Amino acid sequence: MSTRIEIAGLSKALTGQVVLDGIDLTIPPGELTALLGPSGSGKTTLLRMIAGLDRPDRGTVLFDGEDVLTRPARERGVGLVFQHYALFRHMTVARNIGFGLAVRKAPRARIAEKVQALLRLVQLEFLGGRYPAQLSGGQRQRVALARALAIEPRVLLLDEPFGALDAVVRRDLRRWLRRLHREMHITTVFVTHDQEEAFELADRVVVMNGGRIRQSGTPMQLYREPADSFVYRFLGETNEIPCRIENGLVLAEAGFLLGRTETRAGGGTVYVRPHQIAIRPDEAGAWRITEMVASGPASRIGLAREGLILEAILPAEQALALGLGAEMAVEVEITAGVVIADAATAPAPLAPAARLARPHLAGQEGTG
């Protein structure tokens, strides 16, 4: 019963501004897919086009091979949950949920039965008589979901489903939605700008920017093998280090070694996540700790060497055990990361400099 969505060459320009630029995307039946991107990346427009609320200039959208672009939104059988829920404020919760059935002229008894079942599903059994204004944000969200599910949609679409909720409710709802999806197995697409949300919830994440798909894959694939610098930057905090590559050795602008890579030569940029930096106290170390901020379970550590500034994150316990503190001299090793050479767009992995590079490091830089 799950529906496969196939999108090809979807493009849209509004007053000369390109909103979507040749989107090709296939969403397998029953999969939970996240459209992830900054605001203005076109993700919401793409969602609205699948729903039928916006029209593309070019391209196709197929549900199970059937062209749905020629069909108006009301005939597509799409359940859409709006960012601000868009609940009918003048209707009770029960009438909100039953709306899709009522406009189809379903018999009253069947509507009542279905509404009751959905209220149970979203755990709001006793709130059917309330008005949306009398509910909390999380409850409204679940009513919106129940209303969308009432029409037994072929596809479920959610626009920033947790955007307007506070952190705790957001986390609970996320888990609950994940469970719900596993049980119902309905093809689901949701839009988010929060990479953590996308990674936790989705089977597959589609990263968008500037109206194009930058990369699509499982959360693990994206995190391990980002297609380009945008994806890398967007998927988490990152240090960007301008570098040059000589014989597979990656050197900082000041000349010291950062790591190894496959690329032979040329300029480039190293991308390193804050947690991919190892720190060891060493009185003769070339690095200096500029600042240390303990924020809950992690310590953020500023590191400087010859004009280069990095930010590292260590578990607070580890930072404590190592006795790290501001103004301390330390040795630093980049344990992982990627290099994007100027000549290429695809990133290559950065291997640690350790062992192999040690003699070289001493030889090239003298005292360090």
Partner 1 sequence: MARDATAMALPAVRAPGLGTRRVLIGLALAFVAIFLVLPLGVIFAEAFSLGVHAYLAALADPDVQSALWLTIGIALIAVPLNTIFGLAASWCLAHFRFPGRGALIALIELPLSISPVVAGLLLVLLFGRGGIFGAFLEAHGIRIIFAVPGMVLATIFVTFPFVARQIIPLAEAQGSEEEEAAITLGASGWQTFFRVSLPKLRWGLLYGILLCNARAIGEFGAVSVVSGQVPGQTNTLPLEIQALYDGYRVQAAFAASSLLACLAIVTLVLKAALEWHHRDEIRATRRMQAG
Q: Which residues bind partner 1 (CB under 8 A)?
A: 51-53, 72-76, 78-80, 82, 84, 86-91, 99-100, 102-104, 130-134, 147-148, 150-151
| 42 contacts: CB under 8 Å, gap ≥ 6 | 12, 19, 20, 21, 23, 208, 210, 211, 212
CA distance 271 to 248: 16
In the bound state with partner 1, the residue whose beta carbon lies nearer, of 78 and 180, is 78
In the bound state with partner 1, the residue whose beta carbon lies nearer, of 18 and 73, is 73
Cβ at position 243, least distance to partner 1 in Å: 48
In the bound state with partner 1, the residue whose beta carbon lies nearer, of 96 and 209, is 96
Cβ at position 134, least distance to partner 1 in Å: 6
Cβ at position 127, least distance to partner 1 in Å: 12
In the bound state with partner 1, the residue whose beta carbon lies nearer, of 50 and 353, is 50
| 351 contacts: CB under 8 Å, gap ≥ 6 | 259, 260, 261
Cβ at position 48, least distance to partner 1 in Å: 9
| 7 contacts: CB under 8 Å, gap ≥ 6 | 23, 24, 25, 26, 27, 46, 50, 59, 60, 61, 62
Q: For residue 76, which of 90, 63, 85 has the smallest C-alpha distance?
A: 63
CB-CB contact of 5 with 156 (8 Å):
no
Cβ at position 261, least distance to partner 1 in Å: 49
In the bound state with partner 1, the residue whose beta carbon lies nearer, of 43 and 273, is 43
